[in-house]
Amino acid sequence: MQFLLSALSMVSVSLLQGLASDTPEQLLGKMTLEEKIGQMNLYASEWDLTGPPPTEGSNADKYEHIRTGKVGGVLNVTGADAARRMQQLAVEGSRLGIPLLFGYDVIHGYRTSFPIPLGESSSWNLELMEQTARISAIEATAAGINWVYSPMIDTFRDPRWGRVMEGSGEDPFLTSKIAAAKVRGYQGTDLSRPDTLAACAKHFAGYGFPVAGRDYNTTILDGRTLHNIILPPFKAAVDAGVRSVMNSFNLIDGIPATAHAGLQRDLLKGKWKFDGFVVSDWASIAEIAVHGAASDLRQAAQRAILAGSDMDMESFAYVTHLAGLVEEGLVSEAWIDDAVLRILRVKTELGLFDDPYRYIDATREREALLRPAHLDLALDAAIQSIVLLKNATNLLPLDKDAGKIALIGALADDKDSPLGNWRGMAIENSAVSVVEGFRNLGVDFTWTKGVKLAMNPGKMADLVNVNTTDRSGFEEAIRLARESEVVVMVLGELGHQTGEGRSRADIGLPGLQQELLEAVHAVNPNIVLVLMNGRPLIIPWAAENVPAILTAWHGGSRAGDAIARVIFGLENPSGKLTMSWPGSIGQIPVYYNHDRTGRPDANPSVFWSHYNDESNEPLYPFGHGLSYTSFGYSELQVTPSGPRTIDVAVRVSNLGQRSGTEVVQLYLTDPVAQAVRPVKELKGFARVTLAPGASTVQRFRLTKSDLGYFLPDGSFTFEPGEFILTVGPTGTLSQQVSVSD
C-alpha cells in the first residue's frame, strides 16, 4: 500500500505540477463532465453537523467520492492532520488531483474567541473588526481551513430570531462597512498567502427577515426593503472582493433564494459582476423541493444551477442528477463550465495548485492558536463591545474598596457561555468568567450563583432544560446581597440559547433569573446588572428598577476581564447598540430607520399610529450607549458643496472628568421622495477619543450614493431638494439643507 501511495504521489505531483501551470480554462478543458460536477459538490465531514442530517443520496461513500474526484470541498474538517489526510486522498487519489477547499464557520474566531458579531459591531470600530478577522484567518489557516463561511451580513429587526447574534444589526450602512472590513481581514491583499483565506458573504439574501423571528420561516419582503436594507452589505462585500457568496434558505417573492436567477445571475453575477462562486447553504438546493418550488431533487438541481448556485452543500443534488440533466439537454454544459471555472479560479487564487498543503501545517497550528497577542485583542474587542445601557445614579464605575461587593448570577462563573454560539474551535469552558475577572483585578468580593439557569446545559438549545423550579440558591444570594454595599448580578442567556435554530418566542431573562433579580433587589436595590446575551432581552422591570445596566453580550475568551475592567473603571465603555432594544415583545419589529407613516403625531384622538399600552419607541434605541464621561455637540455646519454633495462639520467635546471615546453618528433625512424614505438613515460615523475638556471637529462628506436610494424595482435614484442632517449619539443637532442635481 505504501509503495502504491508513494507511486501515486509521484504521478500526482507531476500531474499537479502540470495543473499548476494551467489556467482554470485550460484545466477545465481536461475535465470530464463527472469531474466538473465533482468540483460543484461540497460535503460535510462527520466532525460537526451544522445542519439537518442529509437525506437522499447521503449514504454516499464520501471518502470514495473524494478519491475519485467527485468532491470539490469539505466543510467542518478541523485540524491540520485531518485536513492533510483528506487532501492527500483528493490530490493523490483522483485522476487530476484537484485540491479540495476546506470550509468552516469561523464567525467570531477560530480558537481565540472574540465577541459574537452583534457584540463586536457595538464597538463601531472597523479597524478592530478587520483585525479580529485577520487573527481568525491566521488561526484557521494554521489548522487547514482555506475558506470561511463568514461574514454573516444579513440585516435584521427581530431579536426573537436566534441568528441576530451572528450579524451586525439592523443598519445597512454600518453592516456594509463591517462587511468590507471583514472581507479585508479574512482575505488580506494576497489570497495565496498561507495565512489568508477565502471569505463568504452570507446569506444571500433576506434570511434575516423571517416572519415572527422564527428561523427558516418565510419572509415577506418589499422591493424597498430588499434593495435599501438587505442587499447593500452584499454589494459592499462584492466590491471588497469577497470570493464566495452563500445563498439563503428563504423565499423571495415565492422563489427560494437558491433558485432565484434574478438575484444570483442577473444581479450578483450580472449587474454587480461578481466573479467568485455561489455556494448553497446546507441542503438549500434540496429544500427547493421542500418549499414546493420543484417536484423532486432532480428538478431542484436543475432550478439551482440555472439560477446560478455553483456549489451544492450537502444536498447530494448535483452529484446525483446534474450529469443526467446535461445528457438529456435540460441543462447546458455551459452552466456547469461557468460554475466550475468560478470554483477553480478561487482555488488558483488560494495557491492550492501550487501547493495543496499550503494551509496544512501542524507545527504552525500548534504555534498560531491562542497567541498572547490574540488574547489581548480578544480583551480589547470585548471591552469595546460592552454597551452601558443605564447608569442613572452614576453607580458605575464601582470603587474596588468601597465596601462589600456581592457577585451573584447564573452566569457569574460561567466559562463557556461567553464563547457564544458559532464558537468555531474554541475550547469548551475556556473563557475568563466574571468571577475570574474580578479575582484578576484583586477585587475583594463574595459570590454565589443564586440560581442555575439550566438543569443540564447541553450544546444544543433544545437540550437545555431551563430551570424553572430549583430555587435552592436564592437564600444564599439574598443573604449575600443583604450584607453587601453593592451587588453585581450577571444574568442572561447560555451560549447556545442563541444562534441558528435558537429562535425564542419569549426573550425575557430565561428561567428564574428575573425572580432572583427581584428577590435580591428587595433586600439591596444597589444593583449593577451585567447582561451576558446573544440578543436584546426584554427587561422592562430591570430598566425601571435597577440603577446600572450594561450588556457584555457573549464576549469571547476574555469576557470576564473586560467586564471587570469596565465595572471598576479601568476602562470607559464606548459601545453603541447596532440593534434597537425593544421594551416589550409586542413592539417587535421596532427599528430606528422606520417609515414616518401617515399618522405619526400624537393627538387627543386615538387616530394616530401608536399602541394604547406601550410606547412606539424601543427601550434603548439604535446608536445608544453611555460613557463614564459626557460629550457635547456644537457648531454644526451643513454646507451644500457641489452638485449632489453635502459637507458636514460638527464640534464634539468631552464635558466630563475622564477620557472617553464617542461614536459620532451622522443621520440623513429625506423628507419628501417618490418612494418615501425612513425618518432617518445612518450615513456616517466616527469614533473620537477625547481627554477631559478636549474637543475636535468631526467632518463628513455625503455624495450622490449617500443621498440617493433604490426604488422598489432596484433602480437607483437621486432626487434633488431638501435634506436634513442630524448628528449625535442618537440625534442631538440638526440642520436642513437644499441640494441641487
| Residues labelled catalytic | 281
Q: How far is the CB of 287 from ligand GLC (least distance, A)?
A: 11
Q: How far is the CB of 183 from ligand GLC (least distance, A)?
A: 16
When asked if residue 312 is in the footprint of ligand GLC (CB under 6 A), the reply is: no
When asked if residue 50 is in the footprint of ligand GLC (CB under 6 A), the reply is: yes
Distance of alpha carbon 543 from the chain centroid: 27
Q: How far is the CB of 276 from ligand GLC (least distance, A)?
A: 16
When asked if residue 105 is in the footprint of ligand GLC (CB under 6 A), the reply is: yes
Nearer to ligand GLC by Cβ, of 50 and 578: the residue is 50
Neighbours of 367 (CB within 10 A): 11
Contact map string, positions 192 to 231, toward ligand GLC, x by CB under 6 A:
----------x-----------------------------
Nearer to ligand GLC by Cβ, of 361 and 500: the residue is 500
When asked if residue 282 is in the footprint of ligand GLC (CB under 6 A), the reply is: yes
Query: Do residues 109 and 132 lie in contact, with contact meaning Cβ atoms separated by under 8 Å?
Result: yes
Give the total of residues touching ligand GLC (CB under 6 A): 9
Q: Pick out residues in 59-98 that bind ligand GLC (CB under 6 A).
A: 75
- How many whole angstroms separate alpha carbon 20 and alpha carbon 97? 11
First vs last Cα of the chain: how many Å apart? 74
When asked if residue 235 is in the footprint of ligand GLC (CB under 6 A), the reply is: no
Nearer to ligand GLC by Cβ, of 75 and 519: the residue is 75
Q: How far is the CB of 216 from ligand GLC (least distance, A)?
A: 9
Distance of alpha carbon 525 from the chain centroid: 36
Q: How far is the CB of 617 from ligand GLC (least distance, A)?
A: 32
When asked if residue 154 is in the footprint of ligand GLC (CB under 6 A), the reply is: no
Q: How far is the CB of 353 from ligand GLC (least distance, A)?
A: 25
Q: Which residue's C-beta sits nearest to ligand GLC?
A: 50
Query: Do residues 272 and 175 lie in contact, with contact meaning Cβ atoms separated by under 8 Å?
Result: no
- How many whole angstroms separate alpha carbon 246 and alpha carbon 715? 24
- How many whole angstroms separate alpha carbon 522 and alpha carbon 520? 5
When asked if residue 262 is in the footprint of ligand GLC (CB under 6 A), the reply is: no
Query: Do residues 686 and 698 lie in contact, with contact meaning Cβ atoms separated by under 8 Å?
Result: yes
Q: How far is the CB of 75 from ligand GLC (least distance, A)?
A: 6
CA quadruple 330, 334, 337, 342: dihedral positive or negative? negative
Query: Do residues 409 and 147 lie in contact, with contact meaning Cβ atoms separated by under 8 Å?
Result: no
Nearer to ligand GLC by Cβ, of 461 and 546: the residue is 461
Query: Do residues 15 and 96 lie in contact, with contact meaning Cβ atoms separated by under 8 Å?
Result: yes
- How many whole angstroms separate alpha carbon 156 and alpha carbon 164? 7
Nearer to ligand GLC by Cβ, of 282 and 335: the residue is 282
Query: Do residues 155 and 681 lie in contact, with contact meaning Cβ atoms separated by under 8 Å?
Result: no
Q: Assign residue 252 a region: left if phi > 0, alpha if psi is -120 to 50, beta otherwise?
A: beta
When asked if residue 287 is in the footprint of ligand GLC (CB under 6 A), the reply is: no
Residue from 8, 18, 22, 51 touching ligand GLC (CB under 6 A): that is 51
When asked if residue 500 is in the footprint of ligand GLC (CB under 6 A), the reply is: yes
- How many whole angstroms separate alpha carbon 528 and alpha carbon 548? 5
Neighbours of 344 (CB within 10 A): 26
Nearer to ligand GLC by Cβ, of 535 and 687: the residue is 535
Contact map string, positions 624 to 663, toward ligand GLC, x by CB under 6 A:
----------------------------------------
When asked if residue 149 is in the footprint of ligand GLC (CB under 6 A), the reply is: yes
Contact map string, positions 449 to 488, toward ligand GLC, x by CB under 6 A:
----------------------------------------
Query: Do residues 249 and 216 lie in contact, with contact meaning Cβ atoms separated by under 8 Å?
Result: yes
Q: How far is the CB of 572 from ligand GLC (least distance, A)?
A: 35
Query: Do residues 475 and 460 lie in contact, with contact meaning Cβ atoms separated by under 8 Å?
Result: no
Nearer to ligand GLC by Cβ, of 282 and 581: the residue is 282
Closest CA to 566 of 514, 531, 518: 531
- How many whole angstroms separate alpha carbon 644 and alpha carbon 224? 22
Query: Do residues 386 and 132 lie in contact, with contact meaning Cβ atoms separated by under 8 Å?
Result: no
In DSSP notation, 326-377 reads HHTTSS-HHHHHHHHHHHHHHHHHTTTTT-TTTTB-HHHHHHHTT-HHHHHH
Contact map string, positions 356 to 385, toward ligand GLC, x by CB under 6 A:
------------------------------
When asked if residue 281 is in the footprint of ligand GLC (CB under 6 A), the reply is: yes
Q: What is the dihedral of CA 255, 258, 261, 266, to 10 degrees?
A: 120
Q: How far is the CB of 105 from ligand GLC (least distance, A)?
A: 5
Q: Is 447 helix (H, G, I), strand (E, B) or coil?
A: strand
Nearer to ligand GLC by Cβ, of 55 and 659: the residue is 55
Q: How far is the CB of 535 from ligand GLC (least distance, A)?
A: 17
Nearer to ligand GLC by Cβ, of 247 and 695: the residue is 247
Nearer to ligand GLC by Cβ, of 415 and 535: the residue is 535
* Contacting positions for ligand GLC (CB under 6 A): 50-51, 75, 105, 149, 202, 281-282, 500
